[in-house]
Amino acid sequence: MFTEGHREEGLVREILSRGGLERKQVKEELWARDISFVRAYDRAFSGLFLVLVVLWLLPAIGQWTGWGFLHFFARLPRVDFPIAVIVVGAVLFIAAVSLEAKVVSMRQKQGGCQDAHETVVIVREGPYRVIRHPGYLAEMVYFSALPIVLSKWVPFTILAAICIVIAITSCAYLIRVEDSFNLRKWGEEYRQYMKEVPAINFVKGLKAHKRWD
């Protein structure tokens, strides 16, 4: 017996079953049915991350400008990382940005709408064969690594540590939200994908991938 929740799943298949729709029409239909993750969540969280960037930069801005009302932030104790830590952070940052660029390109090319965000196809190739949310994993890494890499120019203070914790927590929350959202889009097809592929645990994902191969 199907519940109301089951009837609200697999809405993309319902849209595509009509046939004859162009990519633009499919995207418009997604928005009309409120099946847009960007519209529902990404814009709000983009604003949050902008606030975090400003918070992280306050000590540096206070030092550079000498503005009195930022004097407290300019005097916050800073952490000086060894050069080896900064180099490792830079490598991780570059790797994370490369991964993000890769998955954005894949979503645009394989998602069915030539759009990096609105997709009607579950992308399962490349990194998506190992983890469901490579983009969020990349964001967790580069949001954490960037303040360390730039710590010689932008002081790493308690504010930077707070921003990193909030950014990682927000990404972890978005993973859970997006899984629920994708179940609404694809239903049982995505539920099976969730069973086969972990969210961001790439070690577990690699082991599972090797078993399947």
Specify the residue for token string 């990519």: 23
- pLDDT tens digits, 36-54: 877 777 777 888 999 999 9
Residue 79 to residues 61, 65, 88, 144, 154: CA-CA distances in angstroms? 17, 21, 16, 14, 11
Question: Structure tokens of 190?
Answer: 């995505």
pLDDT at residue number 41: 75
Q: What's the pLDDT tens digit per position in 101-150?
A: 999 999 999 998 888 888 888 999 999 999 999 999 999 999 999 999 99
Task: Take residue 156 and report the two structure tokens written for it.
Answer: 């790493």
Q: pTM of the predicted model, to two decimals? A: 0.88
Q: What pLDDT shows up at residue 140?
A: 97
What's the CATH number of domain 4-212, 3.10.150.10, 1.20.120.1630, 2.60.90.10, 1.10.10.10? Answer: 1.20.120.1630
CA 38 to each of CA 2, 106, 116: distance values in angstroms, whole numbers, following the listed order: 29, 17, 10
Name the H helices within the chain. 4-7, 11-16, 23-32, 37, 43-65, 71-74, 83-110, 134-149, 158-186, 188-196, 202-212
- Residue-averaged pLDDT of the chain: 89
Encode pLDDT of 148-169 as tens digits.
999 999 999 999 999 999 999 9
**Tell me: the pLDDT tens digits for 2-12?**
334 445 788 88
Minimal CA–CA distance to 7: which of 192, 188, 191?
188
Mean pLDDT along residues 28-41: 78
Please report, for the chain, the start and end positions of each structural domain, with discontinuous segments joined by +: 4-212
CA 147 to chain centre: 18
